[in-house]
Amino acid sequence: MAALVLPAGLLVTLLLVAPMLLLFRISLNEYSPTEMMVEATTAANYLRAVADPYYRSVLGTTLAVATGSTLLALVLGFPAAYWLARMQGRWKSLATILVLFPLLVGNVVRAAGWLALLGNGGAINAALLGLGLVAAPLPLLYNTGAVVAGIVAVVLPYMVLTLSAIIESIPRQTEEAASNLGARPMTVFRRVVLPLALPGVAAGSVLVFVLCMNTYASAVLLGGPRFKMMAPAVYDQFVRGNNWPFGAALAFILLGITLVLTVAGSAVLGRRYRRRETEERA
């Protein structure tokens, strides 16, 4: 068994762990306008990121957008996942392909599609102006709503596929039994389907939250130059500011906060699921 795991472990170490260790080492260096980076061992970059109100604001915006996008993807994705999981016959394969199809298109291309849809001369404003419902184009772009819409469009297939895999494993007889005992559809969902689907909710939410925290294309193209999230801020420090140590520190702060929140969220949902299982057995 160890011989089978060793090649994969070495590959992960080479492609993931080693670059992360190098990036962490860079984050401890000092920035120099003339030499770009001076080798050192200091936490000044982390302290600057935590103390600077601008980067605290950027982090707060990132957390708010990621949390809101995850919740919206969960609300929109659960009905679609349930419908996909309960579908029978040849149409299920076609529906699964349709869910997967957006993943074949790059995030930049999808963001460009939202630009064509939400811009002042886009399809929505053109339709509203043509119908006489508005006198001037609505500011649908370069705000939080546009960014959330773009992010949800990117992550929704991941949520749907993760949830549908769990819902499909829930026996349909449990829902039928609850209905036969007089439970209404919402009661069946709240007392039967949702508790049994909590592992999928946890897995899908964690995956989507990680993707939302690290979004770049949607934030830059749909949010505009004034809308800042952590991933574009990291990019700016590396490419535009040439401040690699500070950019590496921002990247590790983003990584650490994402890791802590995902682990905490998974633990809370897992504890709730285990408690409900214990209550049902009792």
Domain coordinates of the chain in residue numbers? Answer: 54-281
Averaged pLDDT for residues 237-261 = 90
Q: How confident is the model at residue 277 (pLDDT cuts 50, 70, 90)?
A: low
| Predicted pLDDT of residue 89 | 75
Give the dihedral sign, CA 194/273/96/107. positive
Distance, in Å, from the CA atom of 166 to the CA atom of 178, rounded to the nearest integer, reads 19
Q: Give the number of residues written for the chain.
A: 282
First to last CA, the chain: 39
Is 90 exceeded by the pLDDT of residue 75? Answer: yes
Is 90 exceeded by the pLDDT of residue 6? Answer: no
Is 70 exceeded by the pLDDT of residue 50? Answer: yes
Q: How confident is the model at residue 87 (pLDDT cuts 50, 70, 90)?
A: confident
| Predicted pLDDT of residue 248 | 93
Which tokens belong to 274?
């285990």
Is 60 exceeded by the pLDDT of residue 282? Answer: no
Residue with the bigger pLDDT between 155 and 92: it is 155
Task: Please name every residue paired with 31 in a beta bridge, in sequence order, or none if there are none.
Answer: 37
Determine the residue type at 39.
E
Architecture label for domain 54-281:
Orthogonal Bundle (1.10)
- Contact between 92 and 81 (Cβ < 8 Å): no
Q: Which residue, among 51, 49, 46, has the nearest Cα to 26 in the 3D structure?
A: 46
Number of H helices, E strands in the chain: 15, 2
Q: Find which of 27-36, 65-74, 174-183 is predicted with most confidence, using mean pLDDT.
A: 65-74
Q: How confident is the model at residue 59 (pLDDT cuts 50, 70, 90)?
A: very high
